[in-house]
Amino acid sequence: MLTKEKAQQIFEQVKKVSTAKDVEVTIAGGQSALTRFANNTIHQNVAEENYIVSVRPVIDGKTARATTNKLDPDGIKRVVESAETLTRVQQPDPDLLPMASAAETKHSGPSAPTRFFDSTAAVTPQDRAAAVHDMVAVAKTAKLTAAGIYSSSQSMEALLNSNGVFQYHRQTSSEISITMLGDDSSGWQKQNSPDSANLRPEHLAETAARKAEQSASPKEVAAGKYTVILEPAAVLDLVGFMFFDWGGLAILDQRSFLNNRIGTKLFGENITVYDDVNHQLQSGPAFDGEGVPRQRVTLIDKGVVQNLVYARGTAAKMKKSEHAAKVGAVRPTGHGFSLPNEMGEMPLNIVFAPAATAQQRTVDQMVGSTERGILVTRLWYIREVDPYEKILTGMTRDGTFLVEDGRIRHGVRNFRFNQSLIHLLSNVEEMGALVRASGEESFDMVVPAMKVREFNFTEVTKF
């Protein structure tokens, strides 16, 4: 893997050929591999190694970016020239700040736990095949068909600039996702972790198989408003859509559903959400696209929209804007994307506050307390219908069940929903313990399972 020392060498090479006094370099990449199986067979099995160098000069109040994976001296020279050429033809941007200083990017407070595990970096294709073999064995025993993936990777990200900033992050990742297919039903599970030792392939396979078996011969149940029990993956895939709106720039651009709502009680009293890169179950680098350390930010406090996150430039703009007095604390929080960009920033390390231990409920307990409702394993193809009321549409998938009198009765045909996130997070009746959850429609988060009343299913599909 590309080391700290090599990153420093590349930066020196860039500085040598750069004619700009102010220059920032991002280096990122690593090795990743993914074993994919379907029909109880490994049908794709891939590996990749790649590193990119991305150069951003600041010249006379202007900036632009060029990126390459050609790391030889000619490649470095060309990417620097390309970035400078592109920068020089821009118009000066009065809002563009000088590059971050070493003082601005100095880390203080708690540190993130280690996210690099040698054993995960050393996972081989044979190791992955062995785990797949075990999962397929579960499928065969249950007379089901398995499809899924097992991936592992090691990656690095470095950010250096001419003000002396040098941030470096490396981590490993591993992930298993499995679908078990019956004749007319399916079940699904997914887990990821920086440490592959935490993955439990057979447990995931057995749980997915049980869901496929329990949902066999699904019955059609009429669409309408139901109490739903959302497993953690379903929760994150839904709530993920609102965090794109949680940056200061989204307010300045008036594209956020939080326009005129900051400081108001928008959600239920039982909803508190942080962005916290240092949380034990979180992942990713502890610095942003300019090298600023990610701060822990309270986004929602007992239902009240509390704080936004800010890149350096956005914070400066916000302080001068008409919104400044209405948006709470304004400060760079270390959530900016690499410059230049249109999005500004967003929180990417979401952690829900857990319910008090005595009030936490397992999914089984939530089922047990439900007179009539729907248990949802997973959601699919979620898209925004209304940007201000935050109405989302999408489908249930891979394990949807009718719950009656505290028991799972049978599998049901999948539903389409049209549901406001604001209403969803105002109607949460029960929550489970926090887990690191992974879906397909949003980024990984630390969330609980939730029991929610009046979830709005509008149609039923044919399976």
Partner 1 sequence: MSTMKEQGGWALDTAKSRGATYAEARIVDERQRALSTKNGKVGHASHSESLGIGIRVIVDGAWGFASTEDLSRKGVEGCAARAVEIAKASAKVKQHDVVMAPEKAYTADWASPYKIDPFSTSVEQNIALLTKIDEELLAVKGITLSETNLNFRRYEQWFYSSLGSDIHQTRVITGAGFAAYSFQGSDIQKRSYPNSFGGQYQNRGYELVEELKLVENARRIGEECVALHSADQCPQSVGTIILDSSQLGLQIHESVGHPIELDRVLGMEANFAGMSFLTLEKLRTLEYGSDIVNVVADATEAHGPGLGTFAFDDEGVPAQCTPIITNGLFTGYLSSRDTAPSIGLQQSGGTMRAEGWNRTPIIRMTNISILPGPKPLTLEQLIADTDDGIFFQTNRSWSIDDKRYNFQFGTEIGWEIKKGKLGRMFKNPSYSGITTEFWNSMDAICSRDQWTLWGTPNCGKGQPQQVMGTGHGAAPARFRNVKIGSAYKGT
Q: How far apart are CA 463 and CA 458, in angstroms?
A: 15
Annotate each residue in 258-297 with x if it binds partner 1 (CB under 8 A) or - if it does not, as one string: -x--------------------------------------
Q: Which is nearer to partner 1, 323 or 361 (CB)?
A: 323
Shortest separation between residue 212's beta carbon and partner 1, angstroms: 11
Helix (H) or strand (E) holding 419: strand 415-420
Q: How far apart are CA 419 and CA 413, in angstroms?
A: 18
Q: Which is nearer to partner 1, 137 or 408 (CB)?
A: 137
**Using the rule CB under 8 A, is 414 a contact of partner 1?**
yes
Shortest separation between residue 11's beta carbon and partner 1, angstroms: 19
CB count, 10 Å around CB of 150? 28
Shortest separation between residue 224's beta carbon and partner 1, angstroms: 8
Residues 180-209 close enough to bind partner 1 by CB under 8 A: 181, 186, 188
Q: Which is nearer to partner 1, 110 or 387 (CB)?
A: 387
Residues 224-243 close enough to bind partner 1 by CB under 8 A: 224-225
Q: Which is nearer to partner 1, 34 or 316 (CB)?
A: 34
Query: What is the radius of gyration, based on Cα positions, of the chain?
Result: 24
Q: How far apart are CA 458 and CA 201, in angstroms?
A: 35
Q: Which is nearer to partner 1, 133 or 302 (CB)?
A: 133
Contacting range for partner 1; rule: CB under 8 A; set: 118-126, 196-204, 359-367, 444-452: 118-126
Non-local CB neighbours of 5 within 8 Å, separated by 6+ positions: none
Q: Which is nearer to partner 1, 243 or 352 (CB)?
A: 243
Shortest separation between residue 422's beta carbon and partner 1, angstroms: 11
Residues 142-181 close enough to bind partner 1 by CB under 8 A: 145, 147-149, 151, 177-179, 181
Q: How far apart are CA 306 and CA 146, in angstroms?
A: 44
**Using the rule CB under 8 A, is 389 a contact of partner 1?**
yes
DSSP letter for each residue of 175-200: EEEEEEE-SS-EEEEEEEESSGGG--
Shortest separation between residue 298's beta carbon and partner 1, angstroms: 25
Q: Which is nearer to partner 1, 366 or 392 (CB)?
A: 392
Tokens read off for 377 = 């394993």
User: 106-113 long-range contacts, Cβ below 8 Å, gap at least 24?
Assistant: 106/293, 107/286, 107/287, 107/293, 108/293, 109/296, 110/278, 111/278, 111/286, 112/277, 112/278, 112/282, 112/286, 113/278, 113/280
Q: Which of 22, 77, 90, 319 binds partner 1 (CB under 8 A)?
A: 90
Tokens read off for 50 = 């790649």
- Intra-chain end-to-end CA distance of the chain, in Å: 46
Q: Which of 222, 356, 358, 383 binds partner 1 (CB under 8 A)?
A: 383
Non-local CB neighbours of 361 within 8 Å, separated by 6+ positions: 355, 369, 430, 431, 432, 449, 451
Q: Which of 12, 60, 93, 220 binds partner 1 (CB under 8 A)?
A: 93
Q: Do the Cβ atoms of 204 and 398 come closer than 8 Å?
A: no
Tokens read off for 376 = 């949802």
Shortest separation between residue 338's beta carbon and partner 1, angstroms: 10
Q: What is the dihedral of CA 423, 315, 165, 293, to 10 degrees?
A: -30
Shortest separation between residue 44's beta carbon and partner 1, angstroms: 6
* 225-230 and 372-386 strand pairing: parallel
Q: Do the Cβ atoms of 28 and 48 come closer than 8 Å?
A: no
Size of the site for partner 1 (CB under 8 A): 100
**Using the rule CB under 8 A, is 359 a contact of partner 1?**
no
Q: Which is nearer to partner 1, 180 or 351 (CB)?
A: 180
Q: Which is nearer to partner 1, 84 or 276 (CB)?
A: 84
Going by the DSSP 8-state scheme, the letter that residue 165 receives in this structure is: -
Q: Which is nearer to partner 1, 133 or 203 (CB)?
A: 133
**Using the rule CB under 8 A, is 463 a contact of partner 1?**
yes
**Using the rule CB under 8 A, is 217 a contact of partner 1?**
no
Annotate each residue in 37-76 with x if it binds partner 1 (CB under 8 A) or - if it does not, as one string: xxxxxxxxxxxxxxxx----------xxxxxxxxx-----
CB count, 10 Å around CB of 303? 18
**Using the rule CB under 8 A, is 376 a contact of partner 1?**
no
Q: Do the Cβ atoms of 80 and 65 come closer than 8 Å?
A: no
Location of structure tokens 């990713």: 284
Q: Which is nearer to partner 1, 56 or 451 (CB)?
A: 56
Q: Which of 419, 427, 438, 442 binds partner 1 (CB under 8 A)?
A: 419
Q: How far apart are CA 135 and CA 133, in angstroms?
A: 5
Q: Which of 388, 404, 443, 453 binds partner 1 (CB under 8 A)?
A: 388
